[in-house]
Amino acid sequence: MSETPAQKLDEEDADDEPTPVQSGAESVVRALENAGVETLFGVTGGAIMPVYDALYDSDMRHVTMGHEQGAAHAADAYGIVSGDPGVCLATSGPGATNLVTGIADADMDSDPMVALTGQVPTALVGNDAFQETDTTGVTAPITKFNSFAQDPDGVGDDVGEAFALAREGRQGPTLVDLPKDVTQGDADREPAPPQSPETYDPPERADAEAVAEAARAIAEAERPVILAGGGVIKANASPELRAFARDYGIPVVTTMPGLGSFPEDDDLALGFAGMHGTGYANLAVTHTDVMLAVGTRFDDRLTGGVDSFAPEAEVVHVDIDPAEISKNIHADYPLLGDAETVLDQLQEAMPGEPPAAEWRARCQQWKADYPMDYATPDDEPLKPEFVVEALDEATGADTIVTTGVGQHQMWACQYWEFTEPRTWVSSHGLGTMGYGLPAAIGARFAADEDQSVVAFEGDGSLLMTVQELSVAVREHLDITVAVLNNEYVGMVRQWQDGFYEGRHMASEYSWCPDFAKLAEAFGARGFTVDDYDAVADTVEAALEYDGPSVIDFHVDPQENVFPMVPSGGENGRFAMNDDQLEQL
């Protein structure tokens, strides 16, 4: 008997209704769908198989990565670019421990991420079963929160809670450990929408009286500076920060994670401060009398020696995490709350513009005195700084830049002109070599289609996660990997030259593969560049190629990153070059 159109319509409507969850694994998948997750990064394996089986019927896209570390970095980058938690999956034991570096990375940088790990059946837990690791124990110090799922009916709630906690307040990674009996077990309850625990209550609005006092201090400052951290971007507070700085004529220094919060082509922009920050940023933080620090944890690479960090400044510290207030640098005016909200509060409370015309002129003079102008002599190999600038020129302002860790990362921060938030994706706190390629994959999935994604990598750094190129090829991802290849782990080589009498122990990487050939072997496009003349054309060809490409730039192996503040040194006494470093 044929169906009437009305019956057919009813059935189609019925198809839109999700089928009730029948197992713990289906509850996990439903919880992710309820949270709006579209893309997952993972590697399957024994204990996580029930969840993967439930994914078979889901519309969410699962991206199989080459290694779980790659899955964690891809999820991390997805979270940075989209603002919503990236999700990664792995099995128990080695799957979970392989995620650890990526989770720790997300924790250090407060990146929103949810990790779901398989676990041996509850009955075997504690018996040293095959592929058993105490995952919640291992990850407790590197997650914002983790939990061990107890029952099939509640496991979806656990996942929703992990998602909510990763996203709310100070963002960070969360993890749910999923024993196989819990995911395989019968369930007949729909998971609740993502919800953080009732006892979790991050601050939003700062105390009005405290805001008024801070505003008065800023308005009276003769040498004010804004220090914009990664929290500005996390809180989507870039527009408020820009308005505040421009309305009151306050120069802006960013931290490394804060790159993109304030446009670097603005007159008030001084670049980023810290170990390899610009000279003018470091002078501004050293001589300021009132610092408005927003969403920063005053990391040691930023402050140098605490004794000499902004030593004459009253500090207004805006942060959502009370534990960051006065942890490293004493806050004279602590303002607890969401950066966007508190900047609006400050804006309204400002009694007037600080008398800082002279100070602004001084900052401009420093820009002229300590320029980031590198030389490009004909008789020396290609300078890496030139490569960064060439890629910046060839791509749009909204291009997403990812990096590994080392010299190439520093040149990327120094010579790329960042103008938009969520375009700088790097491993700051943990300093994870090999972050750039898997991060570019995660960023590509989160980015708009017309946004370019460029990964800067070093030779040593890329080698650590190069297997993820297979993923970029399989998924046909349009990313460009620029290898600043100096045949060294160059930052170590630079320190060996500066502080260890040039003894190059374990830092020479002349044995690295031919990266262009390696790229071709994976099915990507490979290019090699040795001199200035070939840079522009090759960059254009690589960018035009609709798929993953790798350009192996053979750069000057002796090039060092400057300016430099030696570890624990005084920011104001940065070295501009080798001679100055020697005299410190």
So which residues are the catalytic ones? 68, 130-131, 180, 491
Angle at CA of residue 402, ends 400 and 408, nearest 5° = 130
Sheet containing strand 453-458, edge to edge, reads 424-425, 400-403, 453-458, 480-485, 549-554, 525-529
3-state secondary structure of 17: coil
d(CA 498, CA 493): 9
Q: Which is nearer to other proteins, 58 or 326 (CB)?
A: 326
The least CB distance from residue 331 to other proteins, in Å, is 9
d(CA 218, CA 210): 12
The least CB distance from residue 286 to other proteins, in Å, is 6
* Cα 518 from chain centroid (whole Å): 27
d(CA 51, CA 89): 9
Backbone angles phi, psi at 403, to 5 degrees: -145, 160
Query: In this structure, are strands 113-119 and 61-64 parallel, antiparallel, or unpaired?
Result: unpaired
Q: Which is nearer to other proteins, 248 or 309 (CB)?
A: 309
Q: Which is nearer to other proteins, 385 or 392 (CB)?
A: 385
Residue ranges binding other proteins (CB under 8 A): 136-137, 140-141, 144-145, 148, 165, 197, 199-200, 279, 283, 286-287, 298, 306-309, 311-313, 321-323, 325-330, 369-375, 558-560, 562-563, 572-581, 583-584
The least CB distance from residue 279 to other proteins, in Å, is 6
| Tokens 């374990």, residue located | 506
| Tokens 């809670």, residue located | 161
Tally of residues, the chain: 584
The least CB distance from residue 442 to other proteins, in Å, is 25
Q: DSSP for 25-78, please give it.
A: HHHHHHHHHHTT--EEEE---GGGHHHHHHHTT-SSEEEE-SSHHHHHHHHHHH
The least CB distance from residue 480 to other proteins, in Å, is 28
Find the farthest-apart pair of alpha carbons in the chain and give their distance in angstroms, rounded. Answer: 93
d(CA 338, CA 342): 6
d(CA 171, CA 84): 9
The least CB distance from residue 198 to other proteins, in Å, is 9
The least CB distance from residue 177 to other proteins, in Å, is 10
Q: DSSP for 92-159, please give it.
A: STHHHHHHHHHHHHHHHTT--EEEEEEE--GGGTTS--TT---HHHHHGGGSSEEEE---TTTHHHHH
Task: Encode burial over 28-52: b for 16+ CB neighbours within 10 A, e otherwise.
Answer: bbbbbbbbebebbbbbbbebbbbbb
Q: Which is nearer to other proteins, 449 or 579 (CB)?
A: 579
Backbone region of residue 406 per phi and psi (left: phi > 0; alpha: psi in -120 to 50; beta: other values): left
Q: Which is nearer to other proteins, 54 or 329 (CB)?
A: 329
Q: Kindly state the tokens that stand for 336.
A: 């607890």
* Residue 243: count of CB within 10 angstroms of its CB: 13
Kindly list the distances between the CA atom of residue 116 and the CA atoms of 51, 130, 332, in Å, as whole numbers in the listed order. 10, 19, 41
Query: Inter-axis angle of helices 94-108 and 68-82, to 10 degrees?
Result: 30
Q: Which is nearer to other proteins, 88 or 575 (CB)?
A: 575
The least CB distance from residue 334 to other proteins, in Å, is 11
Q: Which is nearer to other proteins, 75 or 313 (CB)?
A: 313
Q: Which helix (H) or strand (E) holds 270?
A: strand 269-272
Task: Encode burial over 440-473: b for 16+ CB neighbours within 10 A, e otherwise.
Answer: bbbbbbbbeeebbbbbbbbbbbbbbbbebbbbbb
